[in-house]
Amino acid sequence: MNLTNAEILSNQPISERYCHMEIAITGWSVADVKPGQFFHIRTIDAYSPLLRRPFSIYRINEEDNTLEFLYLVKGVGTKVMAKRMPKEHLDIFGPLGNTFTFREGSSGILLIARGVGIATLSALAFDAGKKGIPCYAILSARTKDDILIEKELTAAGIKTFPVTDEDGSSDPLLVRKLAEEIIKMQQIDSVYTCGSRRLAILTKDIGEQHQLFAEIALEENMGCAMGACYACVCDIQDEDEIRSIRVCQEGPVLPLKKVIL
């Protein structure tokens, strides 16, 4: 992992609530960054807000040695981050955490993502595209405007299925029906989820029913991101015992069957 002053190449809104940032890395190769991992970022070069914020990777560009993030502008940290300008430097620490795994010889994967979870799973989708693994993505959001980067995913050969609250298509029963159809028609052997507890419960259930390999990327509040502060603790079911883990150390990607939802 590296502590780096990256250069901001671009930082702009892509919808009413979400921004996209691209940064250039010098001194080390982004080939070391894997889907699912995150960076702990100082959103502004000042004392307030002081704490770093975790940002999962949206896109890894090995040719240009750049990284891209998609983030929801919500709290103090992301509001100041949204005002950062090209050519400014961004203090980033990472990559941190573990990565998604592909099942050996996978015949197809299904992603079920909501909101900013779409960004986290997109890195996995692009990786699947590069490896020639057929990838299908159910993208759930409040509004059509919040369905992020559908065009980019489609251009990368990923078949997308947008569902929204505003037209009622994100209803869990309808999402379940859609997921079941995709699994049946497309030889899906693995399923991944991020961004919604409700969708995680649904994904876990579908995964167990169809005996699919299933992983989740957890989104937890973090303090140190180095295992020292215990701000990111969650419980998992490990064999017969329930134990607490630090998501920054053992996650953020975990087997879905282990996570207590």
The site for ligand FES, by CB under 6 A, has a size of: 12
Q: State which of positions 239-258 bind ligand FES (CB under 6 A).
A: 246, 248
222 binds ligand FES (CB under 6 A): yes
Candidates 8, 72, 82, 231: give the one binding ligand FES (CB under 6 A). 231
Residue 28 binds ligand FES, judged by CB under 6 A: no
Q: How many residues are given for the chain? A: 261
227: contact with ligand FES by CB under 6 A: yes
235 binds ligand FES (CB under 6 A): no
Nearer to ligand FES, 56 or 160 (CB): 56
Separation CA 122–CA 36 (nearest Å)? 9
24 binding ligand FES? (CB under 6 A): no
223 binds ligand FES (CB under 6 A): yes
Neighbouring-strand partners of residue 5: 91
Give the residue with the Cβ less far from ligand FES, 92 or 232. Answer: 232
Q: What's the closest the beta carbon of residue 154 comes to ligand FES, in angstroms? A: 35
By C-beta, is 115 or 251 nearer to ligand FES? 251
Choice between 120 and 170, CB closer to ligand FES: 120
Using rule CB under 6 A, residue 163 touches ligand FES: no
Contacting positions for ligand FES (CB under 6 A): 222-225, 227-232, 246, 248
